[in-house]
Amino acid sequence: MPLTTAHYLKQIAQYREVASDLDEQDAYRLFSALLDVGVPDMEMGALLTALRMKSESLSELLGFHRALTERQYALEPPRSEIWPLVIPSYNGARDKLNLLPLLALMARHFGIPVLVHGTLEGYGRVASAYIFRELGIMPCTSLSQAQQALDSERIAFAPTAVLAPGLTMLLQLRGRLGVRNSAHVLVKLLDPFHGRSIRLVSASHAEHLMRLREFLRVSNANALLLRATEGEPFADPARRPRLELFREGERRVLFEAESETVKNTLGAVKTINAADTAAWIHQALAGDIPIPLPLVNQLACCLYACGYTDELNQAKAIAAVSSGALVFAP
C-alpha cells in the first residue's frame, strides 16, 4: 500500500525556522517507500522538494542510508588483503579536466580493486563514463559483469541501476523537478561491499561536508572525505583540499588543505572533452607530463586507507616516486 505522507509533509514542509527533522525510524520508513515506489508522484515530488529546502539532518541521513543499504545489491571484495576503493561519479566536468578516471587508474595500478559507480550521461558536462569509454573501460551491464571485472581487471564502472535500481529512479527525477534531491546525497554513500571497502565521499559546500563528517563518524564508516572538485571526489589539482580518513568512525586528518592556489598545474590542455581528457591521462600515466601533486597526495591516502601499506609516510613516498610513470593497460 502507498505510504501515507501527510504527517511527514506537515513535519518537514514548513518554513525553515518551523520545520522539524524526521527521527531515524521515520526517515527509514519514508525512504524505504520512496525506493520501493510506494509514494504517488505528487507526494513524492513534494517530499523531495521539502527535504531539499530543509536540508537532510543527521537522523534523516542515517535512516535513509539504512533503507538504501537493505535494497542495494552486494559485491564481493576480490581475494586480497587490500580493500576495494568505491568512487561515486555523478557530476562530471564543466570547466576543469575531470581527473577522477586518472585517480581510479592510479589506484588500480597498485592492485587496489576500484569500483566507480555513476551516471552514463553528462547532461552537458563531461561524465566519467565518457572518459572511461575513451580509455577502453566500458560500463558494466550487470552485477555479475561488475564482479568479473573487479576480479580480473581490478576496475569496474557500474551504472547506478546495476547496484541500486530504486535509487536510479529517484536520481532521474532531477530532470522532472529541476533540482537535486536526497538521492544525490545518498548515492555518495553507496557501499556494495557492506563496510569492507573505502568510500571516497565528497561535498562542495562546507555545511554539507560537516554533515557528512558527522554521518561517517556516527555510522562507524570507513571512508576518505574531501571537498569535491566540481562535484567529483578527486583533489583539485590547483589546491589540495583537506583529506580526512575515517576508520570505523575514527577520524584522522591525513593532509591539511592548502591555503594558496597553484596556477597552471596541468600544462597545455586543448579542451576538457572526453577524448582530450583521456589523451591527457594517457600522457600523465606514461610519465610524459607530471601528475598534479594534490592527486599524488590523494593516491597516497588511498594506498594507506586501503591497506597497501600500514604506514602513511611510506604511502606518501610510494605515491611520489611511482607517479612519474605508471604503466597503463585498459
Q: Which of 303, 267, 263 is nearest to 284 (CA)?
A: 267
| Phi and psi angles of residue 119, each rounded to the nearest 5 degrees, phi first | -85, 150
For residue 168, count CB atoms less than 10 angstroms from its CB and return exposed for 0-12, middle for 13-18, buried for 19 or more.
middle
Q: pLDDT tens for residues 109-128?
A: 999 999 999 999 888 899 99
Confidence (pLDDT) at 266: 75
Look at the pTM and tell me if it is higher than 0.85: yes
Residue 57's pLDDT band (cuts 50, 70, 90): very high
Residue 329's pLDDT band (cuts 50, 70, 90): very low
Confidence (pLDDT) at 268: 66
Helix (H, G, I), strand (E, B) or coil at 188: helix
pLDDT at position 328 over 50: no
CATH number of 85-322: 3.40.1030.10
Q: Which of 139, 35, 103, 25 is nearest to 292 (CA)?
A: 103
Q: pLDDT tens for residues 233-274?
A: 999 999 999 999 999 999 999 999 998 877 666 766 778 999
pLDDT at position 24 over 90: yes
Q: Which of 82, 176, 96, 160 is nearest to 131 (CA)?
A: 96
Q: What is the mean pLDDT of residues 280-292?
A: 91
- Calpha distance 182→259 (Å, rounded): 31
All 3 cell numbers of residue 93?
566536468
Q: pLDDT tens for residues 59-105?
A: 999 999 999 999 999 999 988 889 999 999 999 999 999 999 999 99
Q: How far is CA 151 from the centre of its chain?
A: 21
Average per-residue pLDDT in the chain?
Answer: 91
Confidence (pLDDT) at 330: 45
pLDDT at position 3 over 70: no
pLDDT at position 175 over 90: no
Confidence (pLDDT) at 167: 93
- CATH for 6-71, options being 3.40.640.10, 1.10.10.10, 3.30.1540.20, 1.20.970.10: 1.20.970.10
Q: pLDDT tens for residues 145-163?
A: 999 999 999 999 999 999 9
All 3 cell numbers of residue 197?
571497502
Confidence (pLDDT) at 1: 41
What are the residue boundaries of the structural domains of the chain, listed by start? Answer: 6-71, 85-322
Q: What is the mean pLDDT of residues 170-190?
A: 86
- Calpha distance 183→42 (Å, rounded): 17
Q: Which comes out higher in pLDDT, residue 281 or 178?
A: 281
Residue 187 is given by DSSP the state G
Q: Which of 65, 120, 62 is nearest to 89 (CA)?
A: 120
- Calpha distance 305→287 (Å, rounded): 25
Distances (CA, A) of 292 to 77, 236, 311: 30, 9, 22
pLDDT at position 26 over 60: yes
The kind and range of the H/E element at 65 are: helix 58-71
Q: What is the mean pLDDT of residues 206-229?
A: 96
Least confident of 38-42, 82-86, 279-283, 297-301: 38-42
All 3 cell numbers of residue 110?
597498485
